[in-house]
Amino acid sequence: MTSAPTRLDPALVDPATVPASDLAGLCAAICDVESVSGAETDLADAVEAVLRDQPHLSVHRDGDALVARTDLGRDRRVVLAGHLDTVPLTDPPNLPVRLEGTGDDRVLRGRGTVDMKAGLTVMLALAIELGRPGSEPVADLTYVFYDHEEVEESRSGLKRLAANSPELLAGDFAVLGEPTSANIEGGCQGTIRVDVRTRGVAAHSARSWRGENAIHAAAPILATLAAYEAAEVEVDGLVYREGLNAVGVRGGIAGNVVPDACTVTVNYRFAPSRTLAEAEAHLRELFTGYDVEVTDASPAARPGLDDPLAAEFAAAVLARTGGTPRPKFGWTDVARFAELGVPAVNFAPGDASLAHADDERVPVAELAVCRDALRSWLRGA
């Protein structure tokens, strides 16, 4: 049995009505197409169908990733990007989404509402609207919907696109739809994980003076971590708060053996003022005399708000939303755009601290705030 391709309700994606339409309804429709990492095809099909209906967009598909572009001959190009996948549902499932509350306090609750189908809703609404006669944007636009963001980096759909078709990701500035509660969050911290190891000499614990205890030898490592004062670093006007943490420790093989090995796994989240190499050097200096092995690392991204287009974007958004740009602490794909040479910020509805939470929920009002702020900037209004 082959089911019909998943399609979104035509009424929700009607070009004639989408600017005024209920964005909550569109968001709910997107959320209710399950798209746990590795099973994004239904949602990719549905989004592709909507994009291909827009005569002002040319659409490219790569696996379950989609790139849709205007080609209006503008001298600047803005990329709007977001991932299609979500983390797994809860048990019982937190889908379909539920609309709760009334008026301005309405929230949409369920898997993906925050991370990041509210962002996809804003992207899709703009993709339908901007480029139609009478709604021309001042910049050319590229919409990137991609798969496999919530899993190991090697499976990333955006990474695959960047390898297969880097020209499709080119742009002067990118807005990533990761949740920011409708604030501009610039750049992202880098992250590096290292194993710091001690060695000793095994012995029976009844004759422990014949051995050297590798766990005891780790005492200065933990003392260094406990005493470490994480820096707060200003980069392009945003203050990043770093963090240095043991995220694991293990040692010992039996209850009567002086252990000859102990490993402390340390995660350093560092500000965009440091390169990955500098972050590693900092750790090696902190743990001089110990065996230090890097097990995982991703560079930070500068906020890029000193870029003229970014500054213009920030001014336009903030004129509508109030507030000031903030640093992004978690790692996001803005770092990947930065590596591609595209300055990028995070901007979308939803509280990032609810991402992946069982009670994930987004304020409906933020959908319109984000859509309207982006629309007015992109239309030069």
Q: Write out the residues near its own copies by the rule CB under 8 A.
A: 189, 191, 193, 204-209, 213, 215-219, 222-223, 225-226, 230, 241, 243-252, 254-259, 262, 264-265, 267, 269, 296, 329-331, 353
Q: Which of 171/200 has CB closer to its own copies?
A: 200
d(CA 130, CA 198): 59
* Least distance (Å) between residue 338 CB and its own copies: 17
Q: Which of 105/153 has CB closer to its own copies?
A: 153
Active site residue 149: yes
Which residue is it, tokens 């379950």? 64
**Amino acid letter for position 100:** E
Per DSSP (E only), the strands in the chain are: 58-62, 65-69, 77-83, 98-100, 107-109, 140-146, 173-176, 185-186, 190-199, 203-204, 232-235, 238-241, 243-251, 257-258, 261-270, 291-298, 326-327, 344-346, 361-363
Active site residue 178: no
- Residue from 85, 129, 178, 280 carrying the catalytic annotation: 85
d(CA 178, CA 81): 9
Is the distance from CB of 189 to CB of 238 less than 8 angstroms?
A: no
**C-alpha distance from residue 288 to each of 124, 170, 236, 352 (Å):** 51, 42, 32, 36
* Least distance (Å) between residue 3 CB and its own copies: 36
Q: Which of 105/359 has CB closer to its own copies?
A: 359
Q: Which two three-digit tokens encode residue 204?
A: 């029976």
* Least distance (Å) between residue 281 CB and its own copies: 20
* Least distance (Å) between residue 259 CB and its own copies: 6
Backbone dihedral angles phi then psi of residue 100, each to the nearest 5 degrees: -120, 155
Q: Which of 67/194 has CB closer to its own copies?
A: 194
- Residue from 40, 147, 149, 185 carrying the catalytic annotation: 149
The residues that are catalytic are 85, 149
